[in-house]
Structure formats: C-alpha cells, structure tokens
Chains A and B, each alone.
Chain A
Amino acid sequence: MKTDITNMRNIGISAHIDSGKTTLTERILYYCKRIHAIHEVRGKDGVGATMDSMELEKERGITIASAATNVTWKDHDINIIDTPGHVDFTIEVERALRVLDGAVLVLCSVAGVQSQSITVDRQMKRYNVPRIAFVNKCDRTGANPYKVKDQLVEKLGHNAVMIQIPIGLEDKHEGIVDLVTMKAVYFRGPDGDDIVIEEIPDHLKAEAEEKREEMLDAVSMFSDELMEAMMEENVTEELIHDAIRRGTLSQELTPVCLGSAYKNKGVQSLLDAVVAYLPNPTEVENIALDLDNNEAEVKLESVEDKPTVALAFKLEDGQYGQLTYIRVYQGTLKKGDELFNTRSKKKFKVGRLIKMHSDHMEDINEALTGDIAALFGIDCASGDTFNSPGLNYSMTSMFVPAPVISLAISPKDKKAADNMGKALNRFTKEDPTFRTFVDPESNQTIVQGMGELHLEVYIERMKREYNAEVEVGQPQVAYREAISKRADFNYTHKKQSGGSGQYGRVAGFIEPLKEGEYEFVNEVKGGAIPTEYIPACDKGFQSALAKGSLIGFPIVGVKVTINDGQSHSVDSSDMAFQIAAVGAFKEAYPKAKPVILEPIMKVSVEGPTEFQGNIFGSINQRRGIIVSSSDEGAFSTVEAEVPLSEMFGYSTTLRSLTQGKAEFTMEFLKYGKVPQSISEELIKEFQEKNKKDS
C-alpha cells in the first residue's frame, strides 16, 4: 500500500518531567495496536514503558534519548518522536523539534504550566511547530483543566481553547464531552478500549453549551465560512474542524484536549485531534541552504520525484550497529540509492532501511518525502544532511549552545580506557553539546556539557553500555577572561643574533568589545607593516586570546586595533609578526584591567509556598539574585540568576530543604563578572597550580 503524504503526521510529545508523557506515548502505541500490553513507566511488572529503551531511563523513570516510532491511527501514519523532559538534554529536544511538523504539549492538570513547559514551548516557537495541548492526569486530586487552560493563555501567551470538557474530575473522571460533536465520550473496559458515545449528561449540558460558544467564538476567527454559518445557525462539524485546523496550523490557536493517560481516558480523542488538526508534511515549509550557492536559502518541496534531501537527526547505538534516524524532506529515499553527505563530502549507499517501533523494527524498501525512518551502518554525525548526488544542500544549521561545565575523567584500567574512547566517540557524534578533548597540559581527558546531570548521564552510560569504569574529577566551570578598559601596546620582537633573524614591531591598542568575541581592525598607514604581514598579526592576537594570564581561560570580547609598526627588509616574516602580536597583547593585557567572567544560569525553582523561605535562602547563599517570585496559592515559582559554580549539588540541597517537594531547572543565561574576592581566590589557585606544575 502506498502512503498518501497528506495522511502522514510527524509529531512530538513534549512536556515537563513527570507530567506523564511516556505513559501517554505508551497508551498511544497500545491503542494503535503496536504493542499488546500496557506497561507502566515505573510499573510493578518491571518491564517499563516501551519508549524508554535505555536501561538507565527505565531506572530513573525519565526519558533521555528521543526514540522515533511509527503508528497507524484511522488510516493515518503517525511518526512519534518521544522527547526528553529534562532541561539538561535540551539539545535532544531541539533536534527532535527540527524534524517535527506538529506537537502535543502535555501538561499536568494539577501542576499546570511549569518551568520546563515554558522552555519547551519557547523552543517550539523557534521552530514554528503548531501544537495541541493535552491536559493529562485529570484523575488526580486537585485536577483543574480550566486553570491549566488559563495558564496556557497567561504564562505562554497561547490562544488556548478547550475543545473538550471533562466528565467528572479526580476519582470521578470518566470521560470527556466533545464540544465539536456535542457528545459524551466514555472510555470503558479495563484498558479503555471500548469507546462509548452517548448524549451529554444533563448536569453538564449547560456548561457544554457555554464552552462550545466560547470555542466557536475563538475558532470562527479563522474561518469566514464558519462565521457565516454561525449567523445562519447551520454550523457543521466539518466547518468547525476546518477552522480549528487553520488556527492550529497558523500557530495562532492551541486546541486543548484532556484526559488521563494512566486511567486510559481521552487518548483516542487526542489521536483524533492529532490527525484532524496537526499538519501533514506538505503543509510545512522547510528551508535548506545551498552550499554551492553561497548558502542561499532553498525551499524544499515535499514531492516524491524531486532529488532526495534528508537530515540525520539522531544516532543510536543498537544491537546491530549504528542506527541513523533520518527525516526525508524532499524526494524519496530508496534502498540501494546512492547518497551524498554534504558535511563529510562522502558518498554512500543506502543499505538496510527500517521503520522503528521503539525496540522492534520493520524493514522497508523506501521512505517517502516527509517520512521518518532509520538507516543501518552509515558513518555520519547527527545533524548531517544527505542529498541525491548532484545536490549540495544542507538543512539550516541547528542552534548548538556552547558547553558551560567540564569534568576531568580517567579510566580505571586499560580495558576501560579502550571502551571509554569508543563511548566518547559515539556520544560526541550523537550529541553536539557533549564535547571532549585531552588537556595538553595535564594529559587528562576532559568532557564538557550543559550541566551536571547531562555529564552524569553520559558517565553512567559509559559504565553500562560500554563497560568503561571511569574516575571523575571535580566539575569545572568554563570561566572566561575579558578586559574592561582600553590599553595601548607598542611591541618589538627582535632576534638578530646569528642565523636568520626575526624582526617585527606592532603598535596599537586593545579595547573591550560589547558584542562578539573578537574583532581585528587594521589602521596601519603608509605600509609601516607591509600588507602581507597583517594576517600574521591577526593570527598572533587570536592565538594570544586562547589562554588568559589571570586563570588560563579564553579571553573574550576584545577589539584589537593596530595603527603602526615596523618591518625589516630581510628579517621580517610571518612568524616574526605573529610572535610580535602575541608579545604586544601580553604587554597590553595587564593594563586593560582584565576581569574573570563566569557563566550565570537562569534558574527556576518551583515548590510549595510553605518552603519559600528555604528556597529564597538557598539562592541567597549561592550568590544568586532573585528576579521574581510568583505565588499561585499553594505553589510558587522563583526565578533567579545564579552563578553556575554555585549550583553544584543544588538538587540535593533543594531536596533536603523542601522534603523533596521542590524542583528546579536551569539554563545558561550569560557570562557575568566574578566578584572581586572570588576572583582573587581563583587567581591564587591558578598561580599555585602553575607553581606546582613547574
């Protein structure tokens, strides 16, 4: 059977940690007949939910890697990307969002819109992903989907509209009223398979009418036909569906569904909404960059007979070797095709092509435009673009944040050393925010990432998946050095005794640069430094920035202007001017009032209001600045800016301060100046370390 592209959906399920998205995914797989029994995330049967394929995820009850899986719902092909909920893994989320056409934003009916939902939502906005909200856990005590809908409006700025209302809440939650069909929908049977459609119960009729009016008012903004029909009082279901769909696709409307995945309520109706309102691949504009044409933007067409363009968005190390998840943006990708990797400039042949259902796979012969599939045994990195030979397109570069924390690791024995190498090689390919290098001075292997948990998970994975036991050093913050005022230099490098001589003089000044890391300005007049040596000066200054003299970290935000100099007809060379530039920088740097910068994190703590004092106190102790606090009855959110160096071990502290009832997220915000006293300590430490080494 050939798939009709318009019946295809690529969706993600994104949410705050613990709002139940893995359970929801599990139910979707079950109702789409992909799995035969339901397992809970932290279930008693020890099997764990199907999507959390990695052992570690099963143990921690969180989803780390995004696995793609394919299901069929009412003749529609749905590819589901399960995305991690913890902010330390946002690169995974961002990458998944890149290949999605639509998303379900899962929210907890009790906790509502939490900090991670805000982060995820912002990311979705960046990638223009239309979304449907699903208010989950309506069976919980304190469930209030209306409040959650209001929060979508207030906190996320969505034009959120309920298209369903609950039949009963908390332990009385039985089903939903569909406001489009104006019918009550019950999900009966032990696994909620029996959908029973009945008239709306009397006690909900008035409310249903009122909410339907609200919905119609909101969605009719997107359809003149519906508006007319409303005036003539002949509104049809098709007209409403069409209006909601238009609103959703334009990202100006967020339909809100509800239910309880755990209690098997509302999931099938959510699937209906996914099919009805989220876009198919032809309705999404995708742009590639033409590398042969100065990276000009090219609009891709979801047409089968066009040359193939596909993006490798995820690598996974499976039992049978490397699996590369791809999304086809244009053309068709067939078994046996020859493709071109535009990053490595290498051609390769498509071998086995499969569709994934979490741990089980299905062999296929071709992947159509818009589809998500996986390739076996392809050597590539995630983020690579594959083209039909002749094309040289790259999908827009994905936003990759710079790592803010590093850790020295050393293998426990020889065997571990080999395995560690393999593991690091794999992880760096999978995750661009995870980096590794060997420090030339200490000869230690350093890993860098986005947070403590981010690195912890990789160290765990090394042990479990690669049998590589490593010893871990103290986490190290990625400091920077910067200058705070202008300073002049006039430096001569001269070595003219015996052999071929070296001579070069450079003069000018350095000054702080507000935006950007480095700028080089050449104002030399009259050939005081011959033009041919100018690039050597530039290179010399850049090399001097790699390591500041305060604490040995890179120097950022420097503008170098050279305006004078001198050369020698015989003894001047590129090398001589490079050395002169390094010398010039070293001369000027101490005069330019250098300072140390540290990464400042945007921290968001959520917890019961009764623990507010403890939370405020813990931030104050960590040199943090509280930006705001928001009380919403029993729950409050604190937004703060805290130096990363003070955040180590915060999760443990917070747990003990709040009886485990508060949680926090953090992301990199900016670099900020280190206070004088701490700066002095850091400098002292650096000098002592240098003394010991020498």
Chain B
Amino acid sequence: MVKTELNKRSPLRVFEKSINGGVGKGNIGVIASKKGVGKTACLVHIATDKLFRDRHVIHVSFAQKVDHIITWYEDIFKEIAKKRELENAVEVHDEIIKNRVIMNFSKDGTNTDQVLASLRAMIVDGKFAADSVIFDGYDISEAGAEDVAKLKDFAKELNLEIWFSASLKGEDPVFLDNGVPEELSGRIDDIDVLVTLKFEGAYVRLQVVKDHGNLETKDMNLRLEPKTMLIAREQ
C-alpha cells in the first residue's frame, strides 16, 4: 500500500469523524484514562498519523528518556507499516521523522512558562512549522486555571492543535454521569475534545465524552489492539 492509500484507510479518519473533523487549530484535546491503559500509545498513533500526512508535530514529554519516546514512535510506525504493507517503508520513515521534534523537560522544577518559552523558541527561532503539539505527562487536571489559559492562548496565537494525556488517579477512577472523569470536571470548559480509554473485557475502548460544544458520550467504534497498541476499528 502506498502512503496516500494508507492515510485514506486509517482508523484515525473514523476518529476524526467522531470529533467533528479533528480537534482543530487553537483547540485543546485530552485523552484520559487511569495509568497503564494506553494513553501514550494513542498519542503517538495520533502524532504518527499526522506525520504520515506531512504535518509537523512536537512531542513534549516530562522526565522520560528521549530514546524511550523515539522507541515508541519506531514501534508504532513499524506496526502500521507491517499491517498495511507500506511500500518504501524505510524512505517514508526517513521522510516523515524530519517533521517530528521531541522536547523533553525534567519533571520537577519546570513550569508552564518555561515549556511555552522553549516551544516558542523551537517554532519561531528554529522555524519549525508545527501543526500539532502532543503533551505527554503534563497533568492538566492539576494545572492551575492560569496555566491552562496560557496554554489555550498559546495554541490560538501560534495556530496549534494541542493534545494532552490525563492520567486519572487510582485503580477505579470516578466518572460523572455525563462521562467526564471527576478529576477533570473543573477543567472541562477549557477542553475542546475529551476522549476516554476504558477496559472492556480484553479490549480498550475509545469514547468521545466531549466533542467541541457537545457534551455527550459517544462510542467511537474504535479500540486499542491489545498486541500492537494501535488504534483500530471494532470488528
């Protein structure tokens, strides 16, 4: 399969459809689940899908080794290439990773201003034309209202789509009646798109809890493949 065909058939098109075409520039999307369900895999798949479509992505992580993150991308790419029998996989890979930058920050002592200053330096001074920024490991539920406002302004100013992962505490996080995790209820107005991951039997299902103005839980008919951690259509 060639790249364009792969993009057309990607389950991420289903994902986009269920959130009204995507998070959209200047907006914030969040993937929430308890620990160890597959948030990072989801984010990396979303980022890789963007790279496949020649978009520029910055992956922001906190206190993870850069090598680990690169390995995530390599694995997800390999699985996609294998599943779709991608032609010229090596060339495609070398081409698309040019559009990805990983920015790593130490966990303690880094504040939102610093992160945004570094991002700005990368986009403006480094002339990296980012379309999306993936924040993995930034705790949006604990971030102050001021910080979230800064992030939103930043996304609007530089015309970025920003994805966050939110790690819900405990083995059995509490969800409100409208599907919103309790921990995120205070932030829900700032979030444009909220997707939750939940175990259902052997699989992890993806659900849209908030789709822009629409706060109504919908099933995406997508799940995480247990072996490859890829987002896939439900059969």
Contact = CB atoms under 8 A, between A and B. Distances in A.
B110 interface: yes
Interface string A610-648: 001110110110000111111111001001000000000
B126 A617 contact: yes
Contacts of B124: 613
Interface in B102-134: 102-106, 109-110, 114-115, 117-118, 120-122, 124-128
B35 interface: no
A299 B42 CA distance: 51
Given A614-B125, A616-B122, A627-B101, A609 B106 contact: no
A633 B122 contact: no
Contacts of A224: none
A628 B126 contact: no
Nearest to A624: B126
A633 B109 contact: yes
B9 interface: no
B106 A616 contact: no
Contacts of B169: none
A629 B106 contact: no
A625 B98 contact: yes
A217 interface: no
Contacts of A614: 125
Interface in A594-617: 609, 612-614, 616-617
A305 interface: no
A628 B106 contact: no
Contacts of A154: 65
B68 to A, nearest CB: 11
Contacts, number: 68
Interface string B122-163: 101111100000000000000000000000000000000000
Given A616-B128, A620-B127, A631-B110, A626 B122 contact: yes
A462 B122 CA distance: 43
Contacts of A619: 126
Contacts of B105: 630-631
Nearest to B122: A616
Looking at A154, A627, A628, the one whose CB has the most chain B CB atoms below 10 A away is A628
A609 B120 CA distance: 13
A631 B62 CA distance: 9
Given A616-B128, A633-B106, A628 B101 contact: yes
Nearest to A625: B98
Interface residues of A, number: 21
Contacts of B66: 627-628, 630, 639
B118 A609 contact: yes
A619 B66 CA distance: 19
Contacts of A639: 66
A154 B104 CA distance: 13
Contacts of B122: 612, 616, 626, 629
Nearest to A616: B126
B118 A629 contact: yes
Contacts of A626: 101, 122, 126, 128
B104 A629 contact: yes
Interface in A630-686: 630-633, 636, 639
A616 B121 CA distance: 7
Contacts of B126: 613, 616-617, 619-620, 626
Interface in A254-274: none
Contacts of B114: 609, 631
Contacts of A629: 101-104, 118, 122
A643 to B, nearest CB: 13
A481 to B, nearest CB: 18
Nearest to B106: A632
Contacts of A630: 66, 103-105
Looking at B98, B101, B110, B114, the one whose CB has the most chain A CB atoms below 10 A away is B101
Given A613-B125, A617-B125, A631-B114, 17 more contacts: A612-B118, A612-B122, A613-B121, A614-B125, A616-B126, A617-B126, A626-B126, A626-B128, A627-B66, A627-B101, A628-B70, A628-B102, A628-B104, A629-B101, A630-B104, A631-B106, A632-B106
13 contacts: A154-B65, A609-B114, A612-B121, A613-B126, A614-B125, A616-B121, A626-B126, A626-B128, A629-B102, A629-B104, A630-B104, A631-B115, A633-B109
Interface of A: 154-155, 609, 612-614, 616-617, 619-620, 625-633, 636, 639
Interface of B: 65-66, 69-70, 98, 101-106, 109-110, 114-115, 117-118, 120-122, 124-128
Nearest 6 interchain pairs by C-beta: A616-B126, A613-B125, A613-B121, A628-B102, A617-B125, A630-B104
